[in-house]
Structure 1
Amino acid sequence: MTDAKPATDGGDAVAALIALLDLERLEDNLFRGVSPENSTMRVFGGQVAAQALTAAGRTVPDDRRVHSLHAYFLRPGDPAVPIVFEVDRTRDGRSFTTRRVMAIQHGKAIFTLSSSFQLDQEGLDHGDPMPSVPAPQTLPTWEERVAVASSPFIALNRIPRPFDVRYVNDPPWYSGAEPREGARNQVWFRSHRPLPDDQLLHVCMLAYLSDLTLLDSILATHGLGGSWGKVKLASLDHAMWFHRPIRVDDWVLYDTHSPSASGARGLASGHFFSADGAMLATVVQEGLIRVV
């Protein structure tokens, strides 16, 4: 495998995602966002999380970076209807700024987010090492994976994607597999074209990415990856901690696993690492997992 150049529509998909995160400002604390025309039956969770974080960041001074977010998915989002984001300026301190965001459709909250931003400061510095994995350039592309997958995954290859996606191990949806206790799902990501030097944009794109493959680790643990249509998944809540500056137009590794599942819910956690091994962010999510 080679570090193939992205498909022509890959760059277009990046531009579309940037536009998706460029919310319309209705008032000082009120924003409006839309969903892509090719959305599924409900709004993708990573999209609404990234848009809500964008709304929060637009009300914070540029010298403060987001260091954490905590969110709840309350109702399925309707991709045919704009989403209104209402920002509450909870606190503006000397070092930390706190924002709460409510995403609203049809007069009801579909998503809530609390986020905290910090003035850059010096302090202690350490991080867990990145796991030993093959370089992304040596791994099959998303298009190569999907090209040999069975139906209905073939249709996935026709959807423009803003990120070059390289699975380290076989994707859980790739084929039926035996349950693997402690299974890890590891994926390299990189945007299909360079991005502006806007740290808020990069962290919001990382929030978007964080919901793409996180619950896959639960499926891999139980050998349910090939059970398309037999498993219903939905994000319930989501938390992220941002440790270091991030660029998603450079390769980032997403290493995830599931420590527990019970009561039709599964817990998944993961870390993002830069290509040079620095831990960039930590993610934890609980999802609804129903086998039908």
Structure 2
Amino acid sequence: MKEINYKRGQAVDVQEEFGVIEINKDKYIGKKPLVTPMWDSRGVFGGNLVGQSLLVAMKTCDPEFRPHSLHSSFVRAANPDDPITYEVEEISNGNNFCNRSVKALQNGEIVYYANISLTKKNSYKASLAKYEEYNTKFQQRAKERDVEEDIDDDDEEEVEKKPIKPFGFQTPLHNWFKKYDLKDLPVSNIESNMLCYFKFFPDFLQLNKSEYENDIPVAERKFAFLVRWGIDNEQGFHQPLVGVDSQFQYVGLGNISDSLLLNVILRVLRIEDVQLTDYHKTFFGVSLDHVLYIHDDDFDVTKWMGYGFKTIRFAHDRILVEGEIYNDEGVHVATVVQEGLLKFSGKEKGAKL
């Protein structure tokens, strides 16, 4: 029985691990079976299903389209012995948006399905560069015509041509990112069976470092950590990734987006410190659905990304989690909403609500 998926110190070709083979324009199959988080897990890691579905959706669109949202449900546990087959339905094809419905199947049964929307315009840097280029040309034309920058109201033609600067705002990073030097945080020695590596803040790992949370309602407590896909010679950890092109960045983002959330709920409830070994055995938990909004294409999953989250509701053994993912420059590039099924087996009695 295989206890680990990837041997540390060896490069991993993600296009071989998570790539797909086209059967026809509406059907694909994974090159390899997907892996489980741990050797004794009941099914395939959900983040890999998310990532591979995003890849399939991109392959059915023109190359300039990239995902901006995914709404999906985990139907049943996928096994690690057989590759996943994907059936794609083209919902719409527009000039700036297109939509795909993706079904993931094993042995003729649906194990996961996703509705994925893709767009051509999803880069703030590109929009800003376009604005600056147009604005420079506009001002130059104004000078050549001896027109002041503040154009008269009755000059409608020039007003219409003047470009509008891109506008936006975002959820700020957790204050832990300012409290600690991120370079000094240790890389966690948690066994990385999904190619995800983590750095944790002391306030996240230990309850005695965050006693201020006792005065904050559980649904308002915010948490954060750092995560990346693969790692390159940092603090003795080395597992470089090969083949992370523009499409496989999204495969990695899908992987990262589902990498930790349900495993640390006992910490959220202030029942115990974060367990970095055998954390998956402390209670039963599985993902029911997964929503991913991608706000910007400017990210690199092979660099340290910030991940902030909070748990906003628990009822009927179901927990709802909201999370934000930031690129290595602190830009909020993605949002996650996930509902999971949890069975605490009595451990919830120690929760600090």
TM range (shorter): 0.7 to 0.9
Residue identity in the other structure for 1:235: S
Query: Partner of 2:26 in structure 1?
Result: 29
Does residue 1:166 correspond to 2:209, yes or no?
no
Does residue 1:215 correspond to 2:267, yes or no?
no
**Partner SS for 1:249:** coil
Q: Is the CA contact (8 Å cut-off) linking 2:303 and 2:328 kept in structure 1?
A: yes
Against the structure 1 CA distance between its residues 168 and 18, is the aligned structure 2 distance closer, same or farther, given a 3 Å change threshold? farther
Query: Partner of 2:51 in structure 1?
Result: 50
Give the stretch that moved more between structures: 193-202 or 212-221. Answer: 193-202
Which aligned runs of 4 or more in structure 1 are off by greater than 4 angstroms? 170-175, 177-180, 194-197, 224-228
Q: Distance in 2 between matches of 1:169 and 1:83?
A: 39
Instruction: Give the number of the structure whose residues are more often strand, by fraction.
Output: 1
Q: Is the CA contact (8 Å cut-off) linking 1:9 and 1:160 kept in structure 2?
A: no
Q: Distance in 1 between matches of 2:241 and 2:45?
A: 24
Query: Partner of 2:300 in structure 1?
Result: 247
Query: Partner of 1:206 in structure 2?
Result: 253
Which of 287, 306, 322 is residue 235 of structure 1 equivalent to?
A: 287
Normalized against structure 2, the TM-score is what? Answer: 0.69
Number of residue pairs matched by the alignment: 270
Compute the displacement of 1:142 (Å). Answer: 1.5
Q: Distance in 1 between matches of 2:329 and 2:323?
A: 18
Tell me which structure has the larger Cα radius of gyration: 2
Identity %: 24
**Partner SS for 2:67:** strand
Compute the displacement of 1:75 (Å). Answer: 0.5
Q: Distance in 2 between matches of 1:45 and 1:197?
A: 19
Query: Partner of 2:321 in structure 1?
Result: 268
Alignment of 1:143-154 (within 5 A): 143=189, 146=190
Compute the displacement of 1:196 (Å). Answer: 4.9
Residue identity in the other structure for 1:198: D
Query: Partner of 1:4 in structure 2?
Result: none
Q: Is the CA contact (8 Å cut-off) linking 1:184 and 1:217 kept in structure 2?
A: no
RMSD value, Cα: 2.9
Does residue 1:9 correspond to 2:47, yes or no?
no
Describe the superposition over 1:160-202 as per-residue Cα deviations: whole angstroms up to 9, x where unpaired: 5633311124666999x99853443322122313665632211
Q: Is the CA contact (8 Å cut-off) linking 1:172 and 1:224 kept in structure 2?
A: no
Q: Is the CA contact (8 Å cut-off) linking 1:183 and 1:217 kept in structure 2?
A: no
**Partner SS for 1:60:** coil
Which of 181, 185, 196 is residue 139 of structure 1 equivalent to?
A: 185
Residue identity in the other structure for 2:285: L
Query: Partner of 2:351 in structure 1?
Result: none
Describe the superposition over 1:83-113 as per-residue Cα deviations: whole angstroms up to 9, x where unpaired: 1111111110111010110001121101000
Which of 335, 340, 343 is residue 287 of structure 1 equivalent to?
A: 340
Query: Partner of 2:224 in structure 1?
Result: 186
Q: Distance in 2 between matches of 1:231 and 1:92?
A: 44
Instruction: Give the number of the structure whose residues are more often helix, by fraction.
Output: 2
Q: Is the CA contact (8 Å cut-off) linking 1:67 and 1:118 kept in structure 2?
A: yes
Q: Which runs of 5+ in 2 are unaligned?
A: 1-5, 128-165, 232-239, 346-353
Q: Distance in 1 between matches of 2:316 and 2:194?
A: 34
Give the stretch that moved more between structures: 221-230 or 48-57. Answer: 221-230
